[in-house]
Amino acid sequence: MEIMLKKDFMVESLKESAITKTDMINACGDDILAAITLFVDAFKSGKKLLLCGNGGSAADCQHLATEFMIRLNHELNRPAIPAIALTTDTSNLTAGGNDIGFENVFARNVEGLGAEGDVLMAVSTSGNSGNVIKAVEMAKRKGMKVVGFLGGTGGKLKDIVDVAITIPSGNVQRIQEGHITAGHIIFELTELELYSNKIEG
């Protein structure tokens, strides 16, 4: 690939990313605000957040769970907010994959760790990840709320989650970038609403 072609690719990728982020204002802005309300209500009631996803989405779950457990806004001195990424325990995931099937690994952990009033954050760029769908179904049976981080048309998950944050793109990279951007906004506004007096509805 020639240098100019590389530069063109870089520029087009950055432009596409920026356009996707701007399109998110109308496509999922209301859902981002709804997710903040859902999280705040759950945490005020002493509930916790579970997160699941595959591949890059698994990494996003770990990233965002850490933002709640440690902190996101470094000017805010607050206690930990309970969040567990169901994507980090290799013994659990490999035993589950071996013994009960990979499609059941997240549902099994939701069954064991989730409780009524807790929140599940289900991350899937396609909205069709089988093991994430099963996790959502288990969460519903346990009386949990579900926030979906999705992409494109939202897939099967869009109709079974309580709040669907669907990034308006068919490009997996742009969807993943949108997920992290939405996650940072949601998580920081949640911690600010819980532990500062600087945020109003």
Q: Does residue 4 sit in helix, strand or coil?
A: helix
Confidence of residue 4 (pLDDT cuts 50, 70, 90): low
> Given pLDDT bands bounded at 50, 70 and 90, which one contains residue 188?
very high
Segment 161-189 mean pLDDT: 98
Half-sphere exposure of 10 (CA within 13 A, CB side): 7
Looking at domain 3-195, which of 3.40.50.10490, 3.30.930.10, 3.40.190.10, 3.30.460.80 is its CATH number? 3.40.50.10490
Residue 62: pLDDT over 60? yes
Q: What pLDDT does residue 165 have?
A: 98
Domain locations in the chain as residue ranges = 3-195
Query: pLDDT tens digit string along 119-171?
Result: 999 999 999 999 999 999 999 999 999 999 999 999 999 999 999 999 999 99
pLDDT at residue 3 greater than cutoff 90: no
* Spatial separation of the C-alpha atoms in residues 145 and 49, rounded to whole Å: 10
Q: Please tell me the predicted confidence (pLDDT) of residue 6.
A: 86
Sheet of 119-123: strand order equals 83-85, 49-52, 119-123, 145-151, 163-167
If DSSP codes are grouped into helix, strand and coil, which group holds residue 104? helix
Cα separation, 18 vs 190, whole angstroms: 24
Encoded tokens for 132: 């994430």
**pLDDT number for residue 199:** 67
What are the residues facing 149 on neighbouring strands?
123, 165
Beta carbons of 120 and 136 less than 8 angstroms apart: yes
- The candidate with the shortest Cα–Cα distance to 49, out of 102, 113, 143, is 113
